[in-house]
Amino acid sequence: MGLARAGLAQTGGAAQGALDFLLPIGARSVGMGLAAVALGTGSDALWWNPALVARGPREVALHITQTLATQAGTDAAVAFVYTVPRVGSVALSYRYLTYGEQPAVDSVTGLQTGTFVPTSTIAAASFAAPFGSRLAVGVTGKLLRIVYPCTGACSTTSSAPETGALDIGAQYVLTKDSLVTLGAAVRSLGFKLQINDAPQADALPTQFDAGLGLAPKFASMPADVRVRGEADVIVAMVGGGSPGFGIGAEAAYQGRYQARAGYVVNGPMGSGFTFGLGLSTGKLRLDFARMASGIQQQSGVTPTYLSLRYLF
């Protein structure tokens, strides 16, 4: 699986399993520089901080991603969010990742004996609830399962490794006018992933993410223009390594057109600028984002994200 994870930035520390949990998803969040733990919205927020859907809209969504890790495969997710006002939200999501066809080589002769396609699925269920007008908390339970469909003779494991994990998050609106919002989440807290045997099991890439969101209102700003920004810090709770940072901003016009930009430091896809665009037409939301990272410059593959959301 090493080649399959070639697109993930390495920041040092001990080996970790279930790196699929680290791959970003959601065009709006990516366009904001991966800064989404305080102000993320809709199904995008499920992968960053489950508390953010507590007051969000009801929606179904499709998210499609292409990165170096999946340029020859597939990275797609579907999500369903159902909200009851003043009670909370429940959500179901499913992500499917394949990393392209890879050769199976005999360790003795060095000859290719077949091909296999590393495939991961992540199934998740979330619940989030508001407490008053300012606080919201949420939790996501997720199950990762890995299989290696083979053609010919392969030396990959015949089992289907799997592990469970939890995401736990909170959001707090610091000011009555919602100008300042705080968010925090612990992500991928769970059991080690065992591929071969217990002694070789790897800890999950558990992270702590904290963010500050701002939605300033300027007297000179037209009434139909809205801006907001966020800054996040991400600390690895397992394996050490350097902390990651993300900062992003969004400008929206008439609630229909959005432009986003951000910058990521030590993110899962490296460091670099992000940008994105959004279009809202009635109940339909379309978002697009790209990331210009160091990994992209080396590989020639620009991480690209597309999200289609329908509110009901």
The whole-number pLDDT of residue 11 equals 45
* DSSP, residue by residue, the chain: -TGGGTTS---SSS-BS-GGGGS---HHHHHTTT--TTT--GGGGGGT-GGGGTT---EEEEEEEE-STTTTSEEEEEEEEEEETTTEEEEEEEEEEE---EEEE-TTT--EEEEE--EEEEEEEEEEEEETTTEEEEEEEEEEEEE--EEE---S-SS--EEEEEEEEEEEE-STTS-EEEEEEEEEEEPPB-SS-GGG-BB---EEEEEEEE----TTS-TTEEEEEEEEEEEESSS----EEEEEEEEEETTTEEEEEEEEEEETTEEEEEEEEEEEETTEEEEEEEEEEHHHHHHS---EEEEEEEE-
Say what the pLDDT of residue 138 is. 98
pLDDT in tens, 252-299: 999 999 999 999 999 988 899 999 999 999 899 999 999 987 666 566
Bridge partners for 232 per DSSP = 211, 246
Q: At residue 47, what are phi and psi to the nearest 5 degrees?
A: -90, 0
Which tens digits make up the pLDDT trace of 63-79? 999 887 777 789 999 99
pLDDT at 4 over 70: no
Average pLDDT, the chain: 89
CATH number attached to the domain at 3-311: 2.40.160.60
pLDDT score, position 160: 77
State residue 3's pLDDT score: 36
287 bridge partner residues: 278, 307
Report d(CA 150, CA 99) in Å as an integer: 13
- Select from 154, 23, 2 the least CA-distant residue to 96: 23
Predicted confidence (pLDDT) at residue 197 exceeds the cutoff of 60:
no
| pLDDT > 70 in the chain, percent | 90
The band of 12, judged by pLDDT with boundaries at 50, 70 and 90, is very low
pLDDT in the model for residue 208: 97
Q: What average pLDDT score do residues 13-24 get?
A: 78
Q: How confident is the model at residue 240 (pLDDT cuts 50, 70, 90)?
A: confident
pTM of the model: 0.89
In terms of Cα–Cα distance, which of 180, 162, 163 is closest to 171? 180
- Domain residues of the chain, as ranges? 3-311
* Residue 259 near residue 288 (C-beta atoms within 8 A): no
